[in-house]
Every structure is written in structure tokens, then in C-alpha cells.
Amino acid sequence: MDPLTLPARSWLFVPATRTDRIAKAVASGADRIIVDLEDAVAPSEKVAARLGLASATFPTDVPVYVRVNAASTEWFAGDVEAAASLPITGILLPKADVPQEVDRATARLPASFHVVPIIETAVGFWNVLEVARASQVERLVFGALDFQLDTGMHDADDAYAYVRSRITIASRVARIGAPLDSVCLSINDEPAIAADATRGRHFGCCGKLCIHPNQVRVANQIFRPTDEEIEWAQSVLRERDARPADAVFSHRGALVDRPVIERAAQIVSLAAAITQP
């Protein structure tokens, strides 16, 4: 499974102390599963939770990642080494401040593993392009809650517009996957979850972190082309095929040129990938 060719709309956390919930997480319809050794596990339980992963059952039809503890912690090396022996896709690396921290992880991981750094500090944001260019990086995550803790900035009134935009642009420059947006703390308020996801999509994110199964369906719906977008894209491509000699043409009263055609092709491709079983 190449994770870059698969949908990445919803990434659902499961505490590493409750690996029995992995099957339920898969049943939620999440595109990816994250087994969490960091925030979901108390310091006194981290080593036991890590050891318990060896006996956990991991699915083969949904990519699974382990969120290890940050490189600055005492648990980092053991977490990465434990993850390296598991039948999973890769790791999430919290508080990824410099590319050397990604290198420390990949030095202990198989070459096939993917690393998903979380940009959640001022230093990590300052170095975002270098982190994105580190080896084996699949995509980035914006961790808004820890970013607020570190900087004192609040995720309101577009205060993070520059942050989200730069993470997306750095991802594109580094030629990695589109980034993921931070978690939404609402777990039952569907309009709030949808609004949060929609904002992330507007900033170029392909999906978001989910802390509860209730959020998965909404994220999956928001981070897919709408029926209207799919119909528009298909009609543009049909018109293009009917006009093979025309580089530019009018479609439904709007000008269509190469960027518009390529965007239509992206929408159709993404829709096809999402509807595959």
C-alpha cells in the first residue's frame, strides 16, 4: 500500500493503552489509524503501552501509524525502535522542530516506513520547509493546540492563516503529500466539525486528525470532491476530449485553459480513489 495514492481524509487516534479499539477505529471508516503513545498515555504508562504494541492486532487494509513521543523525550528512541518492528505504515513525529529529528527517527526505521512530522512549535514552523524535505517524510500535520501553547496565538479570526498557508506551500515545494489539519475538540457538534474541516480544506489540507469516531464521517465528507465538483470536472474533461485541437475553450460560460483542465483531472482522480473499496 502506497499511502500517497490512498485517501487521507480522516486520521483517527487510538490510545496505545487501548489497542483493542483498533478494530472499532477501522470500522468507523477512517482512512488512517494512529496508535498514540504520546498525549493519550500518561508518563507512568508509556513503557508498558509501548511493550503492549507487540501483541496488538493491526489491520492490513487500512494504513496504521504510531505516534511516538517527541525526539526531546526519554521515550523517543524506544518508541521508534518498537514501531520499527510492527506491521504498520509509519510514524507520526510530534514537535518536529528540525530535520535532524526526522533523521534520528528514520535511522531506526525500515526504508519503507513513512514519517509524518507534526508542526506544532514556533521553531518547527520556522524550519517547516527543511523538515518537509527530510527523508521518508510522507506529509506534514499542523498541531494547532500545541502551537497555541508554545506561541500564545489563538486559532481564531484567521490568526493561523499564514501558518496553515505556509505549511501547505512548503509541502508543495518539498513535493510531499498535502498536509493534515489539526484536531477539532468538538465531538458531537457536527456543524462545528464540518466548519473546522472546511477551513482546513480551504487552506489546501487533504484531511485532518480525528479524536473521536463521530468526527470521521464528517471529515470524510468534507475532504472529498462534492457531487457538483465531480460533475463539473467530468463535463470539462468531456468537452476537452471533444475539442482536441483547442488549448482554450469556453465551458458553461467560463474560460477553460490548461490549469482548469488539470484541476478537473485532479478532482476526477481523487473521486475515483475515494470510491474504491
pLDDT, one tens digit per residue, over 134-182 is 999 999 999 999 999 999 999 988 999 999 999 999 999 999 999 999 9
Consecutive H or E run containing 184: none
Q: How far is CA 53 from CA 83, 160, 191, in A?
A: 8, 36, 35
Q: Is the pLDDT of residue 275 over 80?
A: no
Please tell me which residue, 74 or 276, carries the higher pLDDT value.
74
Tell me the domain boundaries of the chain.
3-222, 227-275
Q: Is the pLDDT of residue 1 over 90?
A: no
3-222 maps to CATH 3.90.1010.10: no
For 10, phi then psi, to 5°, come to: -130, 125
Rounded to two decimals, the pTM is 0.89
Banded model confidence at residue 269, pLDDT cuts 50, 70, 90: confident
Which of 246, 168, 236, 247 lies closest to 200, judged by CA?
168
Please tell me which residue, 245 or 46, carries the higher pLDDT value.
46
Mean pLDDT of all residues in the chain?
Answer: 94
Angle, helices 227-242 vs 258-275, to 10°: value is 130
